[in-house]
């Protein structure tokens, strides 16, 4: 799914850059706090997409002597940094700006453009309308890529079990952005209709709370990936079935898996084998098992098989699921 993730990120970055420029122009011309908060949010999102691209690039580096298992977890680290950026750069700033606006409420100022006086209200509405269209398209691209990955699982369950933070982070950002735009649009319209400039500040606080909530959700998800998560239970069960199907295997003591990256699974299997097997037969069995596991899932990149008596083996731990 790397291609789909990259396409979604580039689309989101382009859309957010255009949206940020439009929002800052609107905030400068009208003095809208919600528009300023939304502009900062879009800049943060653009920076986040750049960070995700850097993370994906660094994660693709080959293994070295210092890092023998590769750099796959780089993407998890950068995804966690992105969540922090959303929390601090987007959510915290929007809440601060909203509180400042509540303390000093002012109606949106009219804008002068090419010598013509234009209502600040309509400037904000036009920019927010453009932003909804651009963000909607970005969200559609991310949602399409995510839908192709999730299969038959419910969306929330698919996010929690996904090992590709780049894709679900972009989708979460786009959803939060659309919700923020709706709140900003509602604040601008209600502030004008009800003649209550303070509503612009409240909408900015609402945007901040949306971003903080989304950031906390992403932190929780990426934290689990960063410290190491097991493969899906279906893959673990398939590994166990493949190993059990080999002649000469008395017992599968343990199947340990861990994602070293979105498409990089380490497998460690402890087996109790027939004591009468020769070294050559064991080597052939190990080679067959590795081949079957890699054929079952291309994400299985490293397989370690340990021959151990059942009595001396540790209990098979319960594998964790994202």
Per residue in 257-316, pLDDT (tens digit) is 999 988 899 999 998 888 888 888 888 888 998 999 988 888 898 899 888 887 655 544
CA distances from 169 to 225, 270, 274 (A): 13, 36, 48
CATH number of the domain that residue 246 is part of: 3.30.70.1350
Q: Are residues 188 and 272 in the same domain?
A: no
Do 296 and 265 share a structural domain?
yes
- In total, how many domains does the chain have? 2
pLDDT of 314 reads 53
Statement: residue 176 has pLDDT above 50: yes
Radius of gyration of the chain measured on its C-alpha atoms: 26
Mean pLDDT of the chain: 81
Query: Do residues 52 and 189 share a domain?
Result: yes
Residues 23 and 156 reside in one and the same domain:
yes
Same domain, 15 and 93: yes
- Examine the fold and report which residue of 199, 227, 255 is the final residue of a domain before the chain moves on: 227
pLDDT in tens, 142-161: 888 777 776 677 777 777 77
Cα–Cα distance measured from residue 128 to residue 247, given in angstroms and rounded to the nearest whole number: 66
Highest-confidence range of 27-31, 34-38, 120-124, 185-189, by mean pLDDT? Answer: 185-189
Same domain, 193 and 293: no
The answer on 137 and 18 residing in a single domain is yes
- Same domain, yes or no: 248 and 183: no
Give the Cα separation of 78 and 73 in Å (integer): 9
Domain contains 237: yes
What integer pLDDT is reported at residue 4 of this predicted model? 59
CATH of the domain at 29: 1.20.1510.10
pLDDT, residue 119, reads 65
Compute the residue count for the chain.
322
Residue 249's domain comprises 233-312
In a domain, 132, yes or no: yes
Q: Which of these ranges, 50-54, 127-131, 265-269, has the smallest mean pLDDT?
A: 127-131
Q: Is the pLDDT of residue 322 over 60?
A: no
Given 3-state DSSP classes, what are the helix, strand and coil percentages for the chain, each rounded to the nearest 5? Answer: 65, 10, 20
Supply φ then ψ for residue 7, to 5 degrees: -60, -45
Domain final residue, candidates 178, 212, 227: 227
Same domain, 177 and 101: yes
Q: Are 12 and 170 in contact (CB under 8 A)?
A: yes
Whole-structure pTM value: 0.74
Domain boundary among 227, 258, 289: 227
Whether residues 155 and 10 fall in one domain: yes
pLDDT of residue 268: 93
At residue 201, the 3 state secondary structure works out as helix
Q: Using DSSP, state whether 190 is helix, strand or coil.
A: helix
Tell me, what's the pLDDT at 118? 58
């Amino acid at each position: 799914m790397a291609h789909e993730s990259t396409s979604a990120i580039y689309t989101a970055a382009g859309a957010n850059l255009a949206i940020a420029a439009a929002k800052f122009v609107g905030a400068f011309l009208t003095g809208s706090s919600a528009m300023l908060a939304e502009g900062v949010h879009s800049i943060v999102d653009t920076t986040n997409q750049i960070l995700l691209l850097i993370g994906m690039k660094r994660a693709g580096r080959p293994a070295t002597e210092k890092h023998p298992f590769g750099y796959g977890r780089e993407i998890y680290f950068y995804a966690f940094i992105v969540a922090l950026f959303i929390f601090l750069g987007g959510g915290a700033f929007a809440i601060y700006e909203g509180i400042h606006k509540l303390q000093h409420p002012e109606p949106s100022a009219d804008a002068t453009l090419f010598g013509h006086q234009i209502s600040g209200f309509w400037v904000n509405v036009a920019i927010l309308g453009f932003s909804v269209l651009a963000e909607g398209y970005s969200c559609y691209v991310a949602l399409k890529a995510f839908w192709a990955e999730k299969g038959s699982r419910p969306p929330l369950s698919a996010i929690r079990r996904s090992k590709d933070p780049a894709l679900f982070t972009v989708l979460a950002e786009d959803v939060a952005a659309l919700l923020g735009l709706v709140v900003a649009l509602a604040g601008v319209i209600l502030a004008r209709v009800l003649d209550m400039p303070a509503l612009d500040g409240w909408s900015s606080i609402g945007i901040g709370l949306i971003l903080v909530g989304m950031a906390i959700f992403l932190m929780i998800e990426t934290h689990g990936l960063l410290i190491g998560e097991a493969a899906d239970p279906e893959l673990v069960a398939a590994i166990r079935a493949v190993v059990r199907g080999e002649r000469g295997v008395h017992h599968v003591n343990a199947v340990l898996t861990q994602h070293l990256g979105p498409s990089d699974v380490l497998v460690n299997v402890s087996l109790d084998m027939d004591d009468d097997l020769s070294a050559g037969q064991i080597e052939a069995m190990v080679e067959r098992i590795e081949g079957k596991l890699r054929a079952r899932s291309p994400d299985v990149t490293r397989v370690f098989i340990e021959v151990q008596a059942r009595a001396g083996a540790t209990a098979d731990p319960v594998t964790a699921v994202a």
